Amino acid sequence: MTILKRDIKVALTLLLLVNCFLLKGFQSEKYQDVIPVPQQVSVAEGLFEVNEDFKISIQGDPNERLYGASTRFLRRLSGRTGVFLKSGYVTEQNNGANGNFVIEVERPGELVVGEDESYELEVKRDRIFLHATTELGAMHGLETVLQLLAFDGATPVIAAGKVTDEPRFPWRGLMMDVSRHFQPIEVIKRNIDGLAAVKMNVLHLHLTDDQGFRVEVKSYPQLYQKGSDGQYFTQEELKTIVSYAADRGIRVVPEFDVPGHATSWLTAMPELGSRPGVESYSMERNAGIFDPTLDPTNEKVYEVLEAVFTEMAAIFPDEYFHIGGDENEGKDWDANPEIQAFKEKHGYKDNHELQNHFNKRLLKTLTALNKKMVGWDEILQEGLPKTAVIQSWRGIEALLSSAEQGYQTFLSNGYYIDLMHSVEDHYYVDPLPADHKLTDEQAANILGGEATMWAELVVPTTVDSRVWPRTAAIAERLWSPQSVGDLKDLYRRLEIISLQLEELGLQHITSRNMILRKLANGQDSEALKIISDLTGPLQGYTRNPGGTMYKSHSPFTLWADACIADAESSTTFRFAMEQFMQNRSEDALASLETSLELWASNHAALAEIVKGAPLAQPAYELSVKLNKAAAVAHEAIAYYKSGTQPTAKWLESAKNTLEMAGEQVGRTELRPVEDIEKLVDRLTVNN
Amino acid sequence: MTILKRDIKVALTLLLLVNCFLLKGFQSEKYQDVIPVPQQVSVAEGLFEVNEDFKISIQGDPNERLYGASTRFLRRLSGRTGVFLKSGYVTEQNNGANGNFVIEVERPGELVVGEDESYELEVKRDRIFLHATTELGAMHGLETVLQLLAFDGATPVIAAGKVTDEPRFPWRGLMMDVSRHFQPIEVIKRNIDGLAAVKMNVLHLHLTDDQGFRVEVKSYPQLYQKGSDGQYFTQEELKTIVSYAADRGIRVVPEFDVPGHATSWLTAMPELGSRPGVESYSMERNAGIFDPTLDPTNEKVYEVLEAVFTEMAAIFPDEYFHIGGDENEGKDWDANPEIQAFKEKHGYKDNHELQNHFNKRLLKTLTALNKKMVGWDEILQEGLPKTAVIQSWRGIEALLSSAEQGYQTFLSNGYYIDLMHSVEDHYYVDPLPADHKLTDEQAANILGGEATMWAELVVPTTVDSRVWPRTAAIAERLWSPQSVGDLKDLYRRLEIISLQLEELGLQHITSRNMILRKLANGQDSEALKIISDLTGPLQGYTRNPGGTMYKSHSPFTLWADACIADAESSTTFRFAMEQFMQNRSEDALASLETSLELWASNHAALAEIVKGAPLAQPAYELSVKLNKAAAVAHEAIAYYKSGTQPTAKWLESAKNTLEMAGEQVGRTELRPVEDIEKLVDRLTVNN
């Protein structure tokens, strides 16, 4: 058995292929499917058979969360293999028992940043051995085991081998915005399970914003009663979320975004606002940056914040507490002479310094509550104590600079999964780029990163399809060796994990199909699915122009909501196109032509469906465009094959056709158009 | 406009067809899609257009639940039509406002049996008017409106018409067993929404049984701590369920099944058990009837029950409280000399009388808590006070007899949806058959019925596919005029409501597809779906022989769990077969032959899939059988067409083939085999 650093991934791949050939089995290839890619993997000969006698022994001194995690592991193992295990529940009775799956844990883990999460997994023919310092590491190992499951004929097996693994960064999270659209507890729970499956360890809840104050507060109940449209977490639910997450090795970091993004607070308590003469605010239904801001000169504001934070500190045991602090443009402060006077009196030269004053007050409150204050980039002002932690949404430079200045920091810029960019755009964003200039000590300030799921354009039924499986790519960036980065292989593995994530209740696949079924109005929705798999929602902030096209109460049950960022067939088409342009191989050409034919035949089916399904109209219009683009592709391929140069007229016409084909329909756009454009460009450059 | 009693459904259908022709619109046909069928319907000329200005006015004096219900209505209206409504939230600001949808309610409704649930809906070209005595009726009306939505070209519309409606029975419920497998709060919530959509008004929660004690009890916390494997509702969650249901016009009736079905109680508190010398009990993992029983001679038992009931009475405001009482076979009582002595001392001649003693004690406790006691048939013993209420699982005779004796009663026999019988078997079960011999006063004791979803063989991911859309058929039986009963039309409407129920989060369609995707192991699952749509889980109690093949922790992620009772294609095939046998029409024949060809072509696809998908093996084996049965069908049709009689040898061989084709695979069986058998039978009888 040879230990292999994943840094030499190509070598490993070759070795695995050779091994597989020698072993006459493909089961050991499953070691290549694991996401995030482990630090070290080696494969050996032989297969461990999963049968009804599979039994877990717990050894050592784990935190009790391991029992529940092991029981859930058994249920998933059984669910995936179809084996009716005799052993159904793992309890203390499994301690030291004579099982064929031994989990050994040295000491109970603590849910703190930097806790040991490493594990070592050894699979032999007759026995699996999972060793870890803490049960948190062991639980990551259980996820790896589930990803190694294969079949030998009809027998479920795990190929012999060894994994030595630990995370690259200690803070690997997902931020969920539950304010813009509320996401009830069941959505949170299933996403926690998803995070655990890809070895993430932080759930950051963005609990308040202009569009909703989403927690029960006993000291000032008007906050949720008037600021949530009845959609909020009770304190019991918050406790349930925290303990559900802790059971799965996930820390929960609460965020109360102040002093801006505060319309919901002010709808409930207008007396805390900054703009003079305003007696009432009303809930924000649009998306964007709004003026309502807490008044940093009003003692009542600090009273309320202290009360809210004190209640929440008792519910969220995590050491970190997030105060937001972003995008306060200070317009309402400028409009208020008393606030301006206060600013002058204290010698603050601008609103940033005033906000720094505000932040320092909160820091004091949080410090008294034994919490470390976290905020977005904007909180980093002259004199901010080094105990504060910066979440960077502005970019990698801001992140590196915070670390250099001695602040703990983690990255979200580049991980805005709500913007519907391709996963490729997120995958290569590294919180600690190879060319960084930081000292080791400074580099250690970079804790990791968080995928950020802002919720202006998602509802509970659609949010999973924005988060998954893409977040697994970010999880890999934060866990795996820096060198890991084969995009095609990532897509391959995302497809595998995607199906596995469904077993946790995640609805990223089902919700899309459900919407398409509805749009088809009782007809077969397959033809819609085919177009949807070539279409993506408009990217960045373009889907919702001005933040006003969609309101909080707008429908998210339509065509764009059934489309995703990394539409499957568009990725396949892209890879085939790239390959064709590289080598003009017959295979790549055949793959392209298969796609083009499918689009044509699908159009006929779609034309039938749309007659009885008005809401499917966007799919039909896109199909018209797609087939026009396909015609251009056909001709371009013909030029390419024959080695002749198209005429300027053809190029002009092709360009126009593709431009029109690329126009949005139903807030979505066709993905392959861009690839066909590249092909046409290529024709004129170096054919 | 003509008012039409639904009793003359055929006439209505004809009239609608005529109307549609005259109106040159099919939108008014939507009045025929409503499920449950309303009491009176008439259609008029014209279409009401749903546009962004759609606005609700509330008039009169409703309970505030109408505001939330109206807001949810707007969201669903918007979701289905794609219209971006300006109006997003209905609050008291909508009172008397100038909307084009006027809801007028006379007085606040109360969630009690027999409350007025009637409504009158009038749709005109420019305005919709919904009148009801209580908001409970108005909310039923909102569901009707959603079922009337249609399109005129791309414009969402509701055809003009009038509906006058009220329920036939006041108790229309679903019992969910959350003990055999726990169903967490999100499952309960989405099913409550489903119930409201089909105008049901009771959720009965079977909270304890041998396999789990599923509620937090503060006085005796060991009950849930030791009796639930950690799976239970907190009291906060129970309160949330009650208020969520109340917001939707649904009463919640809790059941604590005693003195039998008590293993979970006794696992936690063995001192309450009846069998002498038993120091500990352990959680039941099998299904069936078990011995552990509370000791009716032990005062501690009454203390505990009083404490539990008192806590629960405060959480469940409903007037009715269910004590179960079924299937106590008394073995442990017989085995205990002290219990026998007690029985003799009190002159009880058998265990039934002893249980009656027990029940009377509980009745006293519940009466003091202002609750009416409900129990299953077995509680009806000599001397049971008339305030008790009987839920009949034994049959219609028991139901009628209870009513005759003066007990309030409702029916569950015939509504056991967990047994996977065809919906046809439930649809024609009437709690008050036309030929009943009861007086009007006695008949009024028959409150209605409950679909009963026992949970031995379901988990949260699969339960919806057992409950929906079938429960809509039972809802119709309990709401609509007795004469409603066209099976084909029921199936047609179930298909429509099935898609609509998805918008409430119900997973009856998605979970099946998810399981099939998993079984296909990453391949396209369409070929599996085709077989699944012809297959049903074994019916009655045959899927789980002896109650021991499946344990609580067995996998419910396999082939049988993707199959449902009323597999779509099997129903289509059955109707085509019946029609062919009736009239030998070319159309019916063509439909049959299309099916047979599909089965053959699908087999090839399946053979490919199963190579890489061991868990899809049952589908493949069934496909082999199906195609053998299809060959018989082909030959039988040929005989049928030619009018010749098959030979005895052919019949013998056909019979054998079909018998083998009908054998179970993976705890499921092919549905069309029975229909082909009928065809073959027919050949020998009166060809």
Reading the block at residue A253, the tokens are 């970091």
- Give the length of chain B: 687
How is residue A283 written in tokens? Answer: 């809930």
Confidence of residue A686 (pLDDT cuts 50, 70, 90): low
The answer to whether residues B487 and B526 belong to one domain is no
Are B478 and B526 in a shared domain? no
> What's the CA gap between A83 and B382, in Å, rounded?
50
Q: How confident is the model at residue B14 (pLDDT cuts 50, 70, 90)?
A: very low
Q: Does residue A459 form part of some domain?
A: yes
Chain B residue numbers with beta carbons less than 8 Å from the beta carbon of A551 are: 84, 88
Q: Which residue of B has its CA nearest to A156?
A: B614
Residues A497 and A555 reside in one and the same domain: no
**Helix, strand, coil percent values for chain B (each to nearest 5):** 50, 15, 35
Evaluate whether A147 touches A35 at the Cβ level (below 8 Å).
yes
CATH number at residue B456: 3.20.20.80
- The answer to whether B211 and B263 have CB atoms below 8 angstroms apart is yes
Query: In chain A, which residues have their Cβ closer than 8 Å to the Cβ of B51?
Result: none
Report yes or no on A315 lying in a domain. Answer: no
**Banded model confidence at residue A642, pLDDT cuts 50, 70, 90:** confident
A554-to-A214, B158, B194 alpha-carbon distances in Å: 19, 21, 23
Report the share of chain A in percent with pLDDT over 90: 89
Q: Which residue of B has its CA nearest to A526?
A: B526
- Does any domain span residue A490? yes
Contact A20, A98 (CB under 8 A): no
Structure tokens belonging to residue A385: 């104590």
Express each pLDDT in A259-298 by its tens digit: 999 999 999 999 999 999 999 999 999 999 999 999 999 9
Is the domain of A536 the same as that of A608?
A: yes
Same domain? For B111 and B175 the reply is no
Question: Which residue of A460, A510, A555 is in closest CB contact with B78?
Answer: A555
Tell me if B517 and A502 make a contact (CB, 8 A cut-off): yes
The percent of residues in chain B predicted with pLDDT above 90, rounded, is 89
Mutate to test the interface with A, among B461, B525, B554 (most CBs of A within 10 A): B554
Among the three residues B149, B165, B181, which one is the final residue of a domain in this structure?
Answer: B165
Q: Which residue of B has its CA nearest to A502?
A: B514
Domain boundary among A438, A469, A502: A502
Q: Looking at chain A, which residue has its C-alpha nearest residue B560?
A: A82
For B610, residues 6+ apart whose C-beta sits below 8 A from its C-beta are B616, B617, B619, B620
Burial A575-606 (b: 16+ CB within 10 A, else e): bbbebbeeeeeeebbebbeebbeebeebbebb
- pLDDT for B686: 54
What single-letter amino acid sits at A306? E
User: How many angstroms separate the CA atoms of B607 and A189, rounded?
Assistant: 38
Asked whether residue B54 is domain-assigned, the answer is: yes
In terms of Cα–Cα distance, which of B163, B159, B156, B125 is closest to B142?
B163
Two tokens at A509? 């696949």
Which residues of chain A lie closer than 8 angstroms to B79, CB-CB? Answer: 555-557
The Cα–Cα gap between A399 and A422 comes to 23
Query: Which pLDDT value is given to residue B25?
Result: 58
Whether the predicted pLDDT of A558 surpasses 60:
yes
User: Is B327 in the active site?
Assistant: yes
CB contact under 8 A, B68 and A230: yes
**What tens digit of pLDDT does each residue of A155-198 get?**
999 999 999 999 999 999 999 999 999 999 999 999 999 999 99
A302 in a domain, yes or no? no
Residue A84's domain spans which residues?
6-165
State the amino acid at position A242 in one-letter form. Answer: V
Sign of CA dihedral B299, B301, B302, B304: positive
Per-residue model confidence as pLDDT tens digits over A95-145: 988 899 999 999 999 999 999 999 999 999 999 999 999 999 999 999 999
> Is residue A147 a contact partner of residue A500, using CB atoms and an 8 Å limit?
yes
Start-to-end Cα distance in chain B: 48
Alpha helices in A50-155 (DSSP H): 65-81, 135-148
Considering the domain architecture, whether residues A97 and A140 belong to the same structural domain is answered as: yes
Contact B517 A505 (CB under 8 A): no
Same domain (yes/no): B156, B37 = yes
Residue A646 DSSP code: P
In DSSP terms, which residues pair with A165 in a beta bridge?
A: A119
> Is there a single domain that holds both residue B517 and residue B471?
no
Could you write out the three-class secondary structure of B462-492? HHHHHHCCCHHHHHHHHHCCCCCCCHHHHHH
What percentage of residues in chain A have a pLDDT greater than 70?
96
Q: Does B555 contact A79 at a Cβ distance shorter than 8 Å?
A: yes
B253: helix, coil or strand? strand
pLDDT tens-digit readout, B279-309: 999 999 999 999 999 999 999 999 999 999 9
Helix, coil or strand: residue B140: helix
Indicate whether A362 belongs to any domain.
yes
Q: Give the pLDDT mean for A312-319.
A: 98
Instruction: Report which DSSP code applies to B509.
Output: T
In angstroms, the CA B70 to CA A553 distance is 13
- Chain A residue with Cα closest to B152: A614
Residue-wise DSSP of A178-204: -SSS---HHHHHHHHHHHHHTT--EEE
For residue A28, the SS3 value is helix
Round to whole Å and give the CA distance between A137 and A143.
Answer: 10
Contact A552 B88 (CB under 8 A): yes
A647: left (phi over 0), alpha (psi -120 to 50) or beta: beta
Tell me which chain B residues have a C-beta less than 8 angstroms from the C-beta of A553. Answer: 74-75, 78, 85, 88-89
Are residues A104 and A199 located together in one domain of the fold? Answer: no
Q: Report CB contact under 8 Å: B557, A505.
A: no
Yes or no, beta carbons of B84 and A555 under 8 Å apart: yes
Do residues B566 and B467 touch, judged by C-beta distance below 8 A? no
- Mean pLDDT is lowest, of A531-540, B364-373, B678-687, for B678-687
Q: What is the mean pLDDT of residues B624-631?
A: 97
Residue B1 lies in a domain: no
Residues of A tagged active-site: 327
Of the three residues A456, A480, A502, the one that is the final residue of a domain is: A502
Higher pLDDT, A166 or B586: A166
- What contacts B577, CB < 8 A, 6 or more positions away? B588, B592, B672, B675, B676, B678, B679
β-strand A40-49 against B320-322: which pairing, if any? unpaired
> Which chain B residue has the Cα nearest residue A230?
B68
Question: Which of A93, A186, A519 is the best mutation test for B, with the most CBs of B within 10 A?
Answer: A186
| Percentage of chain B exceeding pLDDT 70 | 96
Instruction: Give A25's pLDDT tier (boundaries 50, 70, 90).
Output: low
* Strand-pair partners of A104: A59, A131
What CATH code is carried by the domain that includes residue A70? 3.30.379.10
Written as six digits, the tokens of A47 are 């297969």
B237 & B356 share domain? yes
pLDDT at B687 over 70: no
User: How far is the alpha carbon of B73 from chain A, nearest alpha carbon, in Å?
Assistant: 12
**Rounded average pLDDT over A657-675:** 97
Domain co-membership, A559 together with A467:
no
In eight-state DSSP terms, residue B273 is: B
From chain A, pick out residues whose CB is under 8 angstroms from the CB of B228: none
Nearest CB neighbour to B617, from listed A154, A237, A514: A154
Q: In sequence order, which residues have a C-beta less than 8 Å from that of residue A617 and are 6 or more positions away? A: A610, A666, B154
A24 and A80 inside one domain = yes
Asked if A513 lies within 8 A of B518 by C-beta distance, the reply is no
Q: Which of B115, B319, B327, B593 is catalytic?
A: B327
Q: What is the least distance, in Å, from the CA of A514 to any CA of chain B?
A: 7
Helix (H), strand (E) at residue B334: helix B331-334
Q: How many domains does chain B have?
A: 3
Query: Are A88 and B230 within 8 A, CB to CB?
Result: no
Torsion of CA B334, B336, B341, B346, to 10 degrees: -60
- Matching residue, tokens 């914040």: A305
- C-beta atoms of B517 and A503 within 8 A: no
Model ipTM?
0.94
Q: Please report whether residue B505 resides in a domain.
A: no
> CA of B285 to nearest chain A CA: how many angstroms apart?
9
